[in-house]
Amino acid sequence: MADSNPSPKTFPVSWEELHRNAKALAWRLIEGRSWHGIIAIARGGLVPAAIIARELDLRVVDTICIKSYSDDHARGEIRILKNIVNPGDGDGWLIIDDLVDTGYTAKAVRELLPKAHFATVYAKPAGKPMVDTYITEVSQDTWIYFPWDVEPQFAQPLAAQRRG
């Protein structure tokens, strides 16, 4: 999200749904191409990258570690905490992330690896032009809750929430 207040629209993603969508992304990525390996954008891209690496039988997985959000979900300055070693211009590499939101993180990675194939599980309209392949589009004003970010708990029915 680009602002400090998460949107009231939420999209919770279960482990099963994430696995199914990451596998669907692998189906799209296997067509007609062989890859040198995967570069996962940590942290969100780590789980999808592991699933895709298994499905594509890729054994070379590296990470680029970037911080672009603060703990209150506000977009901050892009900081590369760990870069990858010797990827060249990215040709033949897959960049995997869980989500492209505003496209700021994707743009920073694209500048480093302009010929890599960028794939995400989820895409929002503002960031969608930055990726080559994605599975599910969600609206820009929706906050996605990934399974590693939440714990199961009771949720009020929508009608009860509206009452107050």
Q: What is the pLDDT of residues 57-105, one digit of tens each?
A: 999 999 999 987 666 556 678 899 999 888 799 999 999 999 999 999 9
Give this prediction's pTM: 0.84
Q: Which token pair is 141?
A: 């004003």
- Catalytic position from the list 62, 97, 132, 149: 97
Known catalytic membership, residue 141: no
Report strand pairing: 75-82 vs 61-69. Answer: antiparallel
Instruction: Please state the domain extents for the chain.
Output: 9-163
Mean pLDDT confidence for 43-62 = 97
Known catalytic membership, residue 101: yes
- Catalytic position from the list 57, 89, 98, 141: 98
Top CATH class of 9-163 equals alpha beta
